[in-house]
Amino acid sequence: MPLLSVKKLTKNFDGLCANSNVNMEINEGELVGLIGPNGAGKTTLFNMLTGVYVPSEGTIEFEKDGKAVKLNGVKPYKITAMGLARTFQNIRLFKEMTVLDNVLIAMNKDVKYGTITALLRLPAFYKEEEKMRKKAMELLKIFHLEDKKDELASNLPYGEQRRLEIARAMATNPKLLFLDEPAAGMNPQETAELTNLIRFIRDEFHISILLIEHDMSLVMNLCERIYVLDYGKIIASGVPEEIKTNKRVIEAYLGEEI
């Protein structure tokens, strides 16, 4: 059974069809790309998969304990709790909080003490807080941000803010991670480092990743399989070599280098 299974997914906005009959599968441990020209419907699809938009038609199913669970209409925070996390095209960090607190706040769904324990600051509270802090610091280390733990998120350079957003998404313990243009605004050196980092977290945490990206070198280097959207429809899917030479894909990009 695939980890994520999308069937005939459609989203209409007042006469505009942003996604039409989209079929997609993501298997356990896969690193999959979602590409397409501007306005093709990539972010709309992400928004349906993460509960931001309710699909007009079709189904989204997520495998949980060997059973397919329908995600249509499920609230975003519940979808996150089920093991799907995401980052955003326009970075959404808590800018006035520290780097460490940005990660800690994402772990809150996993706290194992009750309100009374927290209010009375019982020993279980401190033990759990210490455990979370340790886990947060381990994540910051992986994302090369441990030295920045006390900085305000707003003071980080752009590339580091992008990395922090991924670290925060990883703090929710996802099985499937959605990255919306993770390399946007990065220079080639940062993009190369990010490519290695994404591959590393997939291997280290045994998760699946679906990423939207306009940087074709990153997509073709990193993704094992690629879906191509154009005018809301999937026009091709396959391994990078197939996509690069696919006539419909080349036409959709109007001769741009793929």
Enumerate binding residues for ligand ATP (CB under 6 A).
Answer: 13, 16, 18, 36, 38-44
Q: 13 or 77, CB closer to ligand ATP? A: 13
d(Cα 248, Cα 251) in Å, to the nearest integer? 5
b/e per residue, 117-150, with b = 16+ CB within 10 A? beeeeeeebeebeeebeebbbebbebbebeebbe
Are residues 166 and 100 in contact, defined by beta-carbon separation less than 8 angstroms? no
DSSP for residue 35? E
Are residues 2 and 180 in contact, defined by beta-carbon separation less than 8 angstroms? no
Task: Tell the smallest beta-carbon distance from residue 200 to ligand ATP (Å).
Answer: 26
Q: 27 or 72, CB closer to ligand ATP? A: 72
Q: 2 or 37, CB closer to ligand ATP? A: 37
Instruction: Kindly report the number of other CB atoms within 10 A of residue 220's CB atom.
Output: 18
Q: 156 or 179, CB closer to ligand ATP? A: 179
Task: Tell the smallest beta-carbon distance from residue 87 to ligand ATP (Å).
Answer: 14
Task: Tell the smallest beta-carbon distance from residue 129 to ligand ATP (Å).
Answer: 39
End-to-end CA distance of the chain: 32
Q: 43 or 50, CB closer to ligand ATP? A: 43
Task: Tell the smallest beta-carbon distance from residue 103 to ligand ATP (Å).
Answer: 27
Amino acid at 145: L
CA-closest candidate to residue 159, choices 202, 201, 205, 192: 192
Q: 40 or 201, CB closer to ligand ATP? A: 40
Q: What angle do CA 128, 103, 146 make, to 5 degrees?
A: 100
Task: Tell the smallest beta-carbon distance from residue 199 to ligand ATP (Å).
Answer: 23
Task: Tell the smallest beta-carbon distance from residue 89 to ligand ATP (Å).
Answer: 6
